[in-house]
Amino acid sequence: MRRETTNKIRYVLEEWVPPILRDSRFMRVLFRQPWGHITDDFERLRVHITELSPDDYRHVYERMPRLQEDTDNSQDCLDEIAARAIAGKICDVGCGTGYLIRLMSQQPALAKSQFWGADFIVGDEVRSRHPAVKFVAAPIEQLPFADREFDTVVCTHVLEHILDIRAAISELRRVCKQQLIIVVPLEREYRFSFNPHIHFFPYPHSFLRHIVPVPPVHTLKVIGRDLLYVEDRTEPMGPARENQH
């Protein structure tokens, strides 16, 4: 299923369905139709995330069916990311299937770059499918890279899954030398859902509150029901001055 399709479904569920119905037992039954009892796993994950061990957390994601086909990004987001990436050494943190980092490697402007992918689970199939990409299995909160190692760091549809967003942002900023690109869904929280998100950003400013200090040079752009955030790491951190399109 394409991201554009799931965004339309989310729009109906989040904006048209009243909260009293959205959190009802009827919705639990409805979500169980395609996903079975993994829907209950998602609910428990959100309720008990502060108590789960790394193995428990990993088990939820290993069982999770993939909703999108190859990427969680819409085509408009993919185009923005490819256009904004700076050539050199590029890393996709939370690389998933490797689709995004492979797409970036196919861009003429990035042809001479080196490409890395990092995720807390990297399967053999992903590695074999993209032999030109160097994959590393590591949590986003503890990336095994040097300070300012990458010219471009991309992180899409990851932070909504991470308990300690501050720690994750700190690591992304640490390893990034020039351009940091982040995409998160604009989404409201409800009890039952078809994803294991533990953070929700219904508005752009909801996201910014998690990543302070926000640097003076940054871009914040709503694309469909997703939010694109771009940070210029060559500029010093200081009082935020938002550059929004």
Q: Report which of 224, 230, 214 is spatially closest to residue 85, judged by C-alpha positions.
A: 230
Give the per-residue pLDDT at 236. 67
pLDDT per residue rounded down to tens, the chain (245 residues):
788 888 888 889 899 999 999 999 898 888 888 777 778 888 888 888 888 777 777 777 766 665 555 788 999 999 999 999 999 999 999 999 899 999 999 999 998 999 999 998 898 889 998 898 999 999 999 999 999 999 999 999 999 999 899 999 999 999 999 999 999 999 999 988 878 889 999 999 999 999 999 998 899 999 999 999 999 998 766 544 444 44
Sorted by where each starts, the structural domains of the chain and their CATH numbers stand as: 1-245 (3.40.50.150)
Phi, psi of 21 (to 5 degrees): -85, -35
Strand partners, 201: 186
pLDDT value at residue 95: 94
How many residues would you count in the chain? 245
Supply the pLDDT for residue 123: 86
- Residue pointed to by tokens 């990851």: 158
Q: Which of 118, 152, 136, 129 is nearest to 70 (CA)?
A: 129
What is residue 245's predicted lDDT score, i.e. its pLDDT?
A: 44
Which residues neighbour 79 within 8 Å (Cβ) at sequence distance 6 or greater? none
The answer to whether the CB of 99 falls within 8 A of the CB of 78 is no
What's the token pair of residue 2?
Answer: 């394409």
- Measure the CA–CA gap between 195 and 65, rounded to whole angstroms: 9
